[in-house]
Amino acid sequence: MRSRTAHAVRSGVGESAARESESAKCRCSGKSTWRVPTPHIWPRELRFSGPFCAAIPPDHATRLPPCVGPPRLARSSFSLRPKHLPVMNHNIRNIAIIAHVDHGKTTLVDTLLQQGGAYRANQQVQDRAMDSMDLEKEKGITIKAKNTSVHWGSKIINIVDTPGHADFGGEVERALRMVDGVLLLVDAYEGPQAQTRFVLRKALSLGLKVIIVINKIDRENADPKGMYEKVLELLLELNATEEQFDAPVIYGSGRDGFMIRNLNDEQKDLAPLFEAILEHIPPPFARPNQPFHMLVSNVDWSDYVGRIAIGKILGGEVKIGDAVHVIPHNGDKRQRGKITKVFEYSGLGTQETANAVAGNIVGLSGFEEIDIGDTLTADPEGHALPFTDVDPPTLEMQLAVNDGPLVGQDGKFVTSRQLRERIYREVKTNISISVEDADVGGAFKVKARGAMQIAVLVETMRREGFELLVSRPTVITKEVDGSIHEPYETVWVEVPDENVGAIMQNLANRKGQMTNMEKLNTTTMIEATITTRGLIGMEVDLVNATSGHGIMSHLFKEYGPWVGELSTRLTGTIIATEAGETRAYALETIQERGKLFVGAQEIVYEGMIIGENPRNEDISVNAVKAKQLTNFRSQGDGKGIQLTPPIKMSLERCIEYVADDEYVEVTPSLLRLRKKILNSNDRRKADRAKKSKD
């Protein structure tokens, strides 16, 4: 499995033999050989390839980059420590923790902080301390990448906790620009999943060192050895280099706070993991003798100092009061700034410091405008550092001003100007989202990786006091050779054995094609290729079909031919025709025709969706009709009205539920479904015009 033959087949026997020959010649002549990956941030003239041989005793070896040129140049005289070459800051390690969602990243960071001395002896230890956002605590997932650091001995280990959900992959991509290695967490039962493949591919492409951590080995039916073999297969599939493939492996449990190198070792603490980080993750390359320069990888905000630029210092030193130049990544005119605060990460917070050195991850304030991807430099003639663009978005949704009759009764921010400012402010801190004005006034097209990413933005705006309308997600298409192409994704669905038939039928209805099926202990893993359109709303169907026992993950694959019309919702809606307060008397009759979304004594208006019709058609009803009072006693007098509790959906479910001609009305305390055209006569005219055009 891990033999050198597999590498020879994958990378070419001739090239491998040439490398072995060079190493053998060096050993025969009493020379030493080093092989260190060249960071992608070095200028082109400082990038090297091939082994470097130095005629010095091995006990005086110093870590050096490979030498320039073909093997015949490798033996030429070369200074051990040229002034123009980067050196290493051996006191610092910069790592990111990457994994699929719910594989234990944030929990592991908790125990790293605890055993790394971040807490006092009498201080209460927080659960998932890095999930500082309210939405993160409620949903149980990480949304924003965050920085922290721990001390182990005399070394500083900077840690970046990254999201595991595929929709927030942009956070992972920019976080990897700040680190020199990654901890790849893999669940000992589930193994590598969709996001594991995505984040590992990004880390390998940047040449980062990898430490494999098989987590949750105490879980029932865990198979640590089998999952490790699957990780090795994934490394081969992603064309990892020989050095990356020979990554060390650590087993353990982040929740219970222990890590071991071998499964038979004593389960004690996280010392083996700390030691593996210091041994296998290289110190950051730095240029301490050059002017200060840093690439901005994240932007934070403080009510006291304003915008804070976060990144790894690539060269020089910075201290409070230094004048720096801001080089925008979009080519705009460079600006001058003055450093007012320097922040270092320590434990759960930050601490101010007078200066910061090359190789460390810090936060700098003193800029009115600073964006992710900008370059900070003390050299007036300095050039912009390269910033890799994140993967493009595949989904698009429309956010519009609330034009309903109840606008302004619940929220504080309802105008187009306020909505525009808030959406464009989000783009400055979230590079995986793009915004453009829609064709109609007061509406904006927001493009992102997935519906959940936009749903988190809308939920955040909702809690800030905004009122807005949200449309159904639509895919971003491309024209290839005169034909329309749409995004395809690979989906993995793990379901109980008795629900396999229902899920396969659901995939067929959504025009998905099954590519693999694997029988596990008590469940079945189904792998299929499906369009991004077909995935919208599938998670809800999975939960309903499996009673909450199904697990689904997906990953973007490619653009392919348009598959035609898809009907992901097979039901119609019940629409209110009158405005007012709903009556139990009217709802009792309406509930016989479908499921209700509203209860008694709720405010509705014309064009609002108040229920679901089992048939694929819309029906209009009067939900505010009251019982007429007479002086005659009815036979059924005294019998109470029994109403079925209404269905209350979350924001994500509402966004997936609405059709193309419907909106989700979002206010700080309410979620309503409505038609885009509220008046019934205007809707009929629009339908006739659409049919005549077709």
User: Is residue 30's pLDDT more than 50?
Assistant: no
Cross-strand partners of 426: none
CA 429 – CA 421 distance, rounded (Å): 13
Cross-strand partners of 576: 621
For range 77-102, the mean pLDDT: 66
Confidence of residue 32 (pLDDT cuts 50, 70, 90): very low
Task: Give the other-Cβ count within 10 Å of 639's Cβ.
Answer: 8
Quote the mean pLDDT of the chain: 80
Predicted TM-score (pTM) of this structure: 0.76
pLDDT at 71: 37
Calculate the dihedral angle through the C-alpha atoms of 144, 453, 197, 487, rounding to the nearest 10 degrees: -150
Task: Give the other-Cβ count within 10 Å of 389's Cβ.
Answer: 9
Confidence of residue 15 (pLDDT cuts 50, 70, 90): very low
Confidence of residue 418 (pLDDT cuts 50, 70, 90): very high
Confidence of residue 48 (pLDDT cuts 50, 70, 90): very low
Q: Could you tell me where the DSSP H helices lie in 12-131?
A: 13-28, 71-74, 105-115
Confidence of residue 580 (pLDDT cuts 50, 70, 90): very high
User: Is residue 493's pLDDT more than 60?
Assistant: yes
Confidence of residue 544 (pLDDT cuts 50, 70, 90): confident
Angle at 348 between CA 346 and CA 352, to 5 degrees: 40
Confidence of residue 88 (pLDDT cuts 50, 70, 90): low
Q: What is the pLDDT of residues 437-478, one digit of tens each?
A: 888 888 999 998 888 888 999 999 999 999 999 999 999 999
**DSSP letter assigned to residue 287:** B
Q: Cβ(179)–Cβ(94) under 8 Å?
A: yes
Give the CATH class of 572-631+639-693: mainly beta
CA 663 – CA 364 distance, rounded (Å): 42
User: Is residue 75's pLDDT more than 50?
Assistant: no
314-335 in b/e burial notation, b at 16+ Cβ within 10 A? bbbbbebebebbbbbbeeeeee
CA 341 – CA 660 distance, rounded (Å): 49
The token pair at 310 is 């976060």
pLDDT at 148: 84
CA 137 – CA 228 distance, rounded (Å): 30
Task: Give the other-Cβ count within 10 Å of 164's Cβ.
Answer: 26
For range 621-635, the mean pLDDT: 79
Confidence of residue 194 (pLDDT cuts 50, 70, 90): confident
User: Is residue 573's pLDDT more than 90?
Assistant: yes
Q: Cβ(98)–Cβ(185) under 8 Å?
A: yes
The token pair at 464 is 């800030």
For range 153-176, the mean pLDDT: 82
Task: Give me the amino acid identity at 21.
Answer: S
For range 597-607, the mean pLDDT: 93
pLDDT at 250: 93
Q: DSSP of 221-284, one letter per residue?
A: T--HHHHHHHHHHHHHHTT--HHHHT--EEEEETTTTEEESSTTS----SHHHHHHHHHHSPPP
pLDDT at 676: 92
CATH topology for the 287-377 domain: Elongation Factor Tu (Ef-tu); domain 3 (2.40.30)
pLDDT at 54: 35
Q: Could you tell me where the DSSP H helices lie in 486-531?
A: 500-509
Q: Pick the residue with more confidence: 70 or 490?
A: 490
Q: Pick the residue with more confidence: 120 or 377?
A: 377
pLDDT at 517: 92
For range 405-424, the mean pLDDT: 92
229-243 in b/e burial notation, b at 16+ Cβ within 10 A? eebbebbbebebeee
| Residue spans per domain, the chain | 4-83, 92-285, 287-377, 478-561, 572-631+639-693
Handedness of CA 397, 401, 403, 409 (dihedral sign): positive
Q: Could you tell me where the DSSP H helices lie in 56-124?
A: 71-74, 105-115
Among candidate residues 218, 289, 309, 206, the one with its CA nearest the CA of residue 255: 218
CA 52 – CA 23 distance, rounded (Å): 9
Q: Pick the residue with more confidence: 93 or 87?
A: 93
**478-561 architecture in CATH?**
2-Layer Sandwich (3.30)
CATH superfamily assigned to domain 92-285: P-loop containing nucleotide triphosphate hydrolases (3.40.50.300)
Q: Cβ(32)–Cβ(26) under 8 Å?
A: yes
Q: What is the pLDDT of residues 196-233, one digit of tens each?
A: 888 888 888 888 899 999 999 988 888 899 999 999 99
User: Is residue 142's pLDDT more than 90?
Assistant: no
User: Is residue 37's pLDDT more than 80?
Assistant: no
pLDDT at 639: 60
pLDDT at 70: 37
| Chain length of the chain | 694
User: Is residue 8's pLDDT more than 70?
Assistant: no
Q: DSSP of 629-648, one letter per residue?
A: P-SS--TTTTPPP--PPPP-
